Amino acid sequence: MQYSNSKSNILSADVHVSEGINNVVIIPREKSDRYSLRSALRTAFPKVTFFMSNGGISLNSQDALLLMENPPGINLQWSLGAKQFVEKRAEIRSVYAEVKKTVDDLIEKGKSLAEGMLNGIDISSLDSHQVVNVAAMTVSNGFGLCVFDEQGAGKTVTTIFAYDVLVERDQIDIALIIAPKSMVGEWPKDIKRFKGDLYKVTTINGTSAQKRAALSSGADIFITNYETTVNMEAELTTLLRRYRGRAVLVVDESYFIKNRDSKRTQSLRRLREWSGRAFVLCGTPAPNSPVDLVEQFNLVDMGVTFENVKLPDDRAEALPIVRRAINERGLYVRHLKQDVLPDLPEKRFHTVYVPLAEKQREIYLKVLQGYVKDLSSTNDESFKKQLGHFLAQRSALLQICSNPTSVVSDYQETPAKLLVLDDILDDLIRVKGEKVVLWSYYRTSLDALVKRYKKYHLVRYDGTVSSVEERQQAVNMFQDDPSVSLFIGNAAAAGAGLTLHRARFTIYESFSDQAAHYLQSLDRTHRRGQDRDVEYIILLADETIEIKQYQTLQSKQNAARDLLGDNVKESPTRDLLLNEAIEAAKVLNLDII
């Protein structure tokens, strides 16, 4: 049966992928045919749900496959992108159960099964868990994997070997690796380390002309950052389309794509359409909320894991739902350092509560009073409208805990944490000859730290060091030059991927409010190659909201571990045992000092 409009012409429409690549949208050639088109589609497919949206009629990929396989009496012109959108998802669904079972078997049976699947491949340099990962990443009918191994367990080397296996089997031709800026320079070094000059590797950075030249270089492996992915999406799409599905997309530190509506997530989802496989790599994939995992899985399986899963806004309510989805359908591997690197030294945490200096405390109390007054005098509706203002006030309080200069320009007093750091660094560096990693979050604080401690021949790694070459030089100097004793960095810029294991002491002067930055930075010193116990010194401004902020970071860390089923053996801390003992004493009404 053919469907006509009021002019007795056959209805005609174009089929595209909707904005955000969530659905297929059918757009009539004549705007006036929109309702006639929906009526005709409903008649032909009464069990399919059609939505009026995006100037046309929207439907999901499974229902769109019905239209493709059973064309109605409507002139539908499918765009190449829409056709591929539907066919790729149908292909993934057809093999999903088989691939899931293979990955589950590999996790259960381990290296023995993996070695059989990698027969003829030289994997002698890999650890047992890395062999399992490579086998899972290269399942013959696979389409990707989430590699959530803890930081330092070797996700990069696993990916390099997986790429090599897929090339050896003639299943892919190129890899496009998307990484944070701090990691762009690390990938070529590791590829050369493990594969020598076997592959031509290029980084897409520099000026626009340099980036275009890199894209035309005929390389086997292309490496770039998230910003370039957004700015040069069209050029990257052209690159991937040229290889007709024989490209693998690698997304390093994939927590960067946890937000579905962000530009980087949308760009990567569109690039995924032209990639045969996708690997997402992250040791801390859910730093803030269980929902952080959704888009990372979507990038690999194009929506299968979380298909028809409704997630509540409340994080506590969402946690068991997300856990169930990834356990039942998620394609991922997760290895902890304590299990795969049993000889790695211990790590210990020391919390130092620092009373604010006299003037610093006055400023803090004044700002806090204003903050409390403003919060008390508003209602929920007004609060939502002024959220930015309140967050700025909270940020100002945290900056005062570190260094009030950014809030009060004529502040002359030495901030309390600097005085404490003077003694700690003198003891560790001058007396004991140790190298130290010092993390700080605020630009004013970083400037003050660099100026005050230049005598230790320090290197700096934060947003002020923009070039990949300068950042890499800072890491190399700290690692290799005995005269460089101090690494001062911002965990937001340097927390991911770097190896700083020449130091065993890490100090936190202030924190980002993003749990991912903190969690990533913890493992810069505690990783493969470290042969001494690692010590963390946490400086917290006493009797301030900074203490609560740190507790929140720890809570998020524990929640993320629970979500992924981590069985972590943590050594008890002094603070934990002391607080527990004090609470026990209070129950018995004991007098305690």
Model confidence at 573, pLDDT cuts 50, 70, 90, reads: low
The answer to whether residues 308 and 415 belong to one domain is no
Q: What is the mean pLDDT of residues 69-89?
A: 90
Over 60: is that where the pLDDT of 570 sits? no
Over 90: is that where the pLDDT of 144 sits? yes
pLDDT confidence of residue 202 = 97
The answer to whether residues 251 and 314 belong to one domain is yes
Over 60: is that where the pLDDT of 425 sits? yes
Task: Please list the residues that pair with 281 across neighbouring strands.
Answer: 147, 252
pLDDT digits (tens, 9 = 90+) for 491-512: 888 767 788 999 999 999 998 8
Is 379 contained in some domain? no
The answer to whether residues 246 and 109 belong to one domain is yes
pLDDT > 90: percent of the chain:
65
Strands (E), 226-271: 247-252
Is 385 contained in some domain? no
pLDDT confidence of residue 554 = 87
DSSP string, 282-319: -SSS-SS-GGGGHHHHHHHHTTSTTTT----SSHHHHH
pLDDT digits (tens, 9 = 90+) for 316-345: 899 999 999 999 999 999 999 889 888 889
The answer to whether residues 456 and 530 belong to one domain is yes
Over 90: is that where the pLDDT of 396 sits? yes
Is 199 contained in some domain? yes
Over 70: is that where the pLDDT of 357 sits? yes
What span, in angstroms and rounded, lies between the C-alpha atoms of 312 and 564?
19
pLDDT digits (tens, 9 = 90+) for 232-275: 999 999 999 999 899 999 999 998 998 888 999 999 999 999 99
pLDDT confidence of residue 282 = 94
The answer to whether residues 576 and 481 belong to one domain is yes
Q: What is the mean pLDDT of residues 192-212?
A: 95
- Alpha-carbon distances, residue 12 vs 47, 53, 434 (angstroms): 22, 18, 74
Is 267 contained in some domain? yes
Over 90: is that where the pLDDT of 7 sits? no
The answer to whether residues 453 and 509 belong to one domain is yes
Instruction: Return the axis-axis angle of helices 233-242 and 263-272, rounded to nearest 10°.
Output: 10
Q: What is the mean pLDDT of the chain?
A: 90
Residue 10 is classified by DSSP as B
- How long, in residues, is the chain? 593
What span, in angstroms and rounded, lies between the C-alpha atoms of 221 and 218?
9
Is 35 contained in some domain? yes
Q: What is the mean pLDDT of residues 210-222?
A: 96
DSSP string, 504-555: -EEEESS--S-HHHHHHHHTTTSSTT--S-EEEEEEEETTSHHHHHHHHHHH
pLDDT confidence of residue 564 = 87
Is 149 contained in some domain? yes
The answer to whether residues 64 and 176 belong to one domain is no
The answer to whether residues 154 and 265 belong to one domain is yes
pLDDT > 70: percent of the chain:
93
271 touches 233 (CB < 8 A): yes
The answer to whether residues 31 and 175 belong to one domain is no
582 or 197, greater pLDDT: 197
Q: What is the mean pLDDT of residues 33-42?
A: 90
82 touches 273 (CB < 8 A): no
What span, in angstroms and rounded, lies between the C-alpha atoms of 370 and 367?
5
Q: What is the pTM assigned to this prediction?
A: 0.85
pLDDT confidence of residue 62 = 87
The answer to whether residues 168 and 232 belong to one domain is yes
Q: What is the mean pLDDT of residues 11-24?
A: 86
Over 60: is that where the pLDDT of 50 sits? yes
For the stretch 322-342, what's the b/e string if a residue is b when 16 or more beta carbons lie within 10 angstroms of its beta carbon?
bbebbeebbbbbbbbbeebbe
pLDDT confidence of residue 574 = 53
Residue 476 sits in a domain of what CATH number? Answer: 3.40.50.300
- Which of 41-50, 500-509, 525-534 has the largest mean confidence? 500-509
pLDDT confidence of residue 2 = 64
Residue 136 burial class via C-beta count within 10 angstroms: exposed 0-12, middle 13-18, buried 19 and up: buried
- Alpha-carbon distances, residue 324 vs 65, 145, 290, 334, 448 (angstroms): 28, 18, 11, 16, 48
pLDDT confidence of residue 555 = 86
pLDDT confidence of residue 241 = 94
Q: Which of 78, 110, 130 is the last residue of a domain?
A: 78
pLDDT digits (tens, 9 = 90+) for 428-438: 999 999 999 99
pLDDT confidence of residue 592 = 54
Is 462 contained in some domain? yes
Q: Which of 78, 110, 129 is the last residue of a domain?
A: 78
Over 80: is that where the pLDDT of 283 sits? yes
The answer to whether residues 279 and 353 belong to one domain is no
Q: Which of 25, 58, 78 is the last residue of a domain?
A: 78
Residue 279 sits in a domain of what CATH number? Answer: 3.40.50.10810
DSSP string, 84-97: HHHHHHHHHHHHHH
Domain that holds residue 19: 12-78
Is 387 contained in some domain? no
Q: Total domain count for the chain?
A: 3
Phi, psi dihedrals of residue 75, rounded to the nearest 5°: -80, 95
Over 70: is that where the pLDDT of 4 sits? no
- Alpha-carbon distances, residue 439 vs 8, 297, 350 (angstroms): 72, 31, 15
pLDDT confidence of residue 514 = 81
Model confidence at 575, pLDDT cuts 50, 70, 90, reads: low
pLDDT confidence of residue 350 = 95
pLDDT confidence of residue 412 = 93
Over 80: is that where the pLDDT of 210 sits? yes
The answer to whether residues 436 and 578 belong to one domain is yes
